[in-house]
Structures are given as structure tokens and as C-alpha cells.
Structure 1
Amino acid sequence: MQIDTATNDGLLVVSPKGRLDSNTSPALETVLLDRISAGDTAISVDFSGVDYISSAGLRVLLMAAKRLGPAKGSITLHAMSPEIREVFEISGFLTILKVYPDLNAALAAR
């Protein structure tokens, strides 16, 4: 799994590419937790390059959101395919995490 990061107007954008499953989610976990430890409190994960997510990937996102809570930070998600969005909907994660159609919407919501 390739994971790119960039900062856009104070928002850390994390862009994983490929499958987000039990084999690859530890890499995303490392990136997110390292950046949170370094002080990043506004994070959005770009799902445009993710074609599959398992419960292991969902767990990583939930853990990052919980870590950001005490720092008054937030994690948002954007650019999901309909299939990925369905996984979030079925799992109930759409009530926990904010999801935006694209990066511009995520930036505007800040």
C-alpha cells in the first residue's frame, strides 16, 4: 500500500492507495498515529485511491479519531466510491465520522 501525505491550508491530507485490510492497515495506523503524535490535529483521509476496506481499516480510523479527541482535533474522510461508502454506512461509521464528497468540501467545512 502506498500512502501519500500533504498539507493543504492547515489540513493534513492522507491518501492511501489500494486495499485497506489486515495486511495493509498497520501502515496507515503508523502514519496517522505518528502525525497525531507530531501535533497534527486536522486530518482528512482521501479515499479516492482505496478500492477495498475491511474491519481492520475501519478500526484504524476509529482509533485515530479517538486519539484526536483529547486534542480537540478531528479526522474526516473524503472522495469515497459508492462501494466504500456502503461499507461505512452498513458499519454505522457514517454516524461517527464526517464524510465529504471531495477535498474542497472537507476544507470548506473546517
Structure 2
Amino acid sequence: MQIDTFVQDGVTVSKISGRMDATTVAQFNEECQKLLAAGAGRIIVDLEGLEYISSAGLRGILTMGKACKSAGTVLAFCSMQAMVADMFKLSGFTSILKVYPSLNEALAGMR
């Protein structure tokens, strides 16, 4: 899994690519903790390059959501491929997390 993080329009964006599963979710969790420790107030996780997410990956997403809520950080996800979007829907995440079709729409939603 590859994670590229940058700031755009005052919002921290993390682009995830590859696979998020039991072997890579720790890397995702570490990146999330770094962002929160750095005081990121608004985070978008761009999942355009994420090809696969397992149940362990979904737990990592849920853990991040809870940590952001506790820290008062606004969190959103965007640009999901069909398989990842289906997993978010089946798990009920689309009803508890902010999800946008594209990065531009997520940035607009963060304003």
C-alpha cells in the first residue's frame, strides 16, 4: 500500500493506493495517528487508487473515524472504486462517514 499525503486548499489529503488488508492496515493507522498528532483539522482520504479493502482495512477506517471524532477533526472519503464503494455500503459506513464521488467535491464539502 502507498500513502501520499499533501495539503490542498487548507485540507490534508491522503491518497491511498494498492490494497488495505491485515498486512497493510498498520501503515494506514500510523499515518492517521501522525496526521492527528500534527493537528490536522480536516482530512480527506482519497481512495481512487485503492484496489481492495478487507475486513481488517474496514476496521482501520472505523478506528480512524473514531479517532478523528474524538480529536474534533472533520473526516471525509472520496473517489472509491466500485469494490471499495460496495464494501463501504455493505458495512454501513456510507451512513456514518462522509463520502464524496471525487476529490473536488470532497474539498468543496469541507469548506
Q: TM over 0.5, yes or no? A: yes
How many residues align structurally? 110
Q: How far does residue 57 in structure 1 lie from its aligned partner after superposition?
A: 1.1
Q: Which residue of 1 aligns with 2:88?
A: 88
Q: Which residue of 2 aligns with 1:62?
A: 62
Q: Which residue of 1 aligns with 2:98?
A: 98
Unmatched runs of 5 consecutive residues or more in structure 1: none
Question: What amino acid sits opposite 1:36 in the alignment?
Answer: L
Paired-residue identity, %: 41
Query: Within 1, Cα distance between the matches of 2:106 and 2:75?
Result: 10
What is the CA RMSD across the aligned residues, in angstroms?
A: 1.0
Q: Report if the CA contact (8 A) 1:65-1:74 is conserved.
A: no
Query: Within 2, Cα distance between the matches of 1:90 and 1:23?
Result: 22
Runs of at least 4 residues of structure 1 off by over 2 A?
none
Unmatched runs of 5 consecutive residues or more in structure 2: none
1:71 aligns to 2:96 (yes or no):
no
TM-score norm. by structure 1 comes to: 0.94
Q: Report if the CA contact (8 A) 2:79-2:101 is conserved.
A: yes
Q: Which residue of 2 aligns with 1:43?
A: 43
Q: Which residue of 1 aligns with 2:3?
A: 3
TM-score norm. by structure 2 comes to: 0.93
SS of equivalent residue, structure 1 residue 44: strand
Query: Within 2, Cα distance between the matches of 1:60 and 1:11?
Result: 21
